[in-house]
Amino acid sequence: MVRETSLSPDDFIYPLFVTYGKNIHREIKSMPGCFQESVDKIVKHAKEVYSLGIPAVILFGIPEHKDETGSGAYDPHGVVQKAIKAIKDKAPELYVITDVCMCEYTSHGHCGILEKGGVKNDATLELLAREAVSHARAGADMAAPSDMMDGRVKAIRIALDSEGFSEMPIMSYAAKYASAFYGPFREAAESTPKFGDRRSYQMDPANRREALKEVALDIGEGADIVMVKPALAYLDIISDVRNAFNVPVAAYNVSGEYSLIKAGAKLGWIDEKRVMMEVLTSIKRAGADLILTYFAKDAAKILNK
Ligand code: PBG
């Protein structure tokens, strides 16, 4: 009766990794319980997610071919575009969000176009806008740009509006840190940069005030929901953003946060279910309205009991 924070399956967004081919359901080694799946398998999985009371998924693509400009990202017949159509066809109530970024599609693994070994911010914006529009055309419900290029929310907003998708919301990865907690995801999405790192566009983990600046910029450009990422080592940021702005706040409980708990449980050192629920509760308590988490299905099963 006096509990201040409660979790519900409808707080969750479940990430799915879609790959090319047929009948593929490949477990990601560093993320037990998570899979790379072909479109046919993703559809079944999406239905299961919805049946657990989880309202939304976010899609990440692993294309068959990667190139310098990440053309698989805005290919109308790309893996994500196909998956969106298939899911909206078979599970229309499920809300489909797409990760809008280049790193899964570029041969060098960076989140933008390269010039002289560095990522070119402004040239990347046009490609991100094309990617978002192609997701919208395939039937996506919301675009979630995760690249951290300056000005991308505005570029995507303008492109969506001019292509007839003015009602499509944008959830911006607004305060995204250059974090080592993304390690397992990069195995899952096959998106590890071939050289260097992402520190020229992602944030320094030591900075707190800068997060508020980044979030304010994205809201000014038209972001409808803002995200803090990772979640657990950044609860102070989630709380700051919640207190400073009146838009919904999402938090990404990232791959490394998931894998640590899975590994600890496998070794028998921690109680997986209790630690999982404690972590998710803490993210909500800090101020997140929405939680992107690989634990969504496991937690929903407990909450539904
Ligand atoms: C793409 C992207 C990343 C994640 C989500 N979108 C990786 C990165 O920035 O390297 C990480 C998600 C996770 O670790 O679970 N830019």
Which whole number is the average pLDDT over 72-88? 97
Q: Which active-site residues does the annotation give?
A: 176, 229
Q: Residue 75 is which amino acid?
A: D
- CB distance 74 to ligand 1 below 6 Å: no
Atom of ligand 1 nearest to the CA of 192: 10
282 has a pLDDT exceeding 90: yes
- CB distance 111 to ligand 1 below 6 Å: yes
Give residue 165's pLDDT.
Answer: 98
For residue 182, report the distance from its CA to the centre of ligand 1, in Å. Answer: 6
3-state secondary structure string, 78-117?
CHHHHHHHHHHHHCCCCEEEEEECCCCCECCCCCCEEECC
Give residue 190's pLDDT.
Answer: 87
- CB distance 185 to ligand 1 below 6 Å: yes
For residue 208, report the distance from its CA to the centre of ligand 1, in Å. Answer: 20
CA angle 198, 199, 205 (to 5 degrees): 120
Which whole number is the average pLDDT over 34-41? 97
Q: Which helix (H) or strand (E) holds 36?
A: strand 35-38
User: In which band, very low, low, confident or very high, does the pLDDT at 116 lie, cut at 50, 70 and 90?
Assistant: confident
Domains, the chain, with CATH or none:
9-304 (3.20.20.70)
Mean pLDDT, all residues of the chain: 96
Q: Which helix (H) or strand (E) holds 6?
A: none
What are the C-alpha distances in Å from 267 to residues 100, 261, 262, 271, 277? 36, 10, 9, 10, 19
Give residue 2's pLDDT.
Answer: 97
**Greater confidence, 118 or 86?**
86
For residue 304, report the distance from its CA to the centre of ligand 1, in Å. Answer: 29
Task: Report the share of the chain in percent with pLDDT over 70.
Answer: 100
Which whole number is the average pLDDT over 31-51? 97
23 has a pLDDT exceeding 90: yes
Give residue 129's pLDDT.
Answer: 97
Dihedral angle over CA of 298, 243, 160, 16, nearest 10 = -10
Q: What is the pTM of this model?
A: 0.97
- Chain segment 204-237, per-residue pLDDT in tens: 999 999 999 999 999 999 999 999 999 999 999 9
Which whole number is the average pLDDT over 116-145? 95
For residue 185, report the distance from its CA to the centre of ligand 1, in Å. Answer: 6
- Chain segment 147-182, per-residue pLDDT in tens: 999 999 999 999 999 999 999 999 999 999 999 999
Give residue 303's pLDDT.
Answer: 98
Pocket residue to mutate for ligand 1, from 66, 191, 232, most atoms within 8 A of Cβ: 191
189 has a pLDDT exceeding 90: no
Give residue 68's pLDDT.
Answer: 93
Tokens matching residue 58: 């976010």
187 has a pLDDT exceeding 90: no
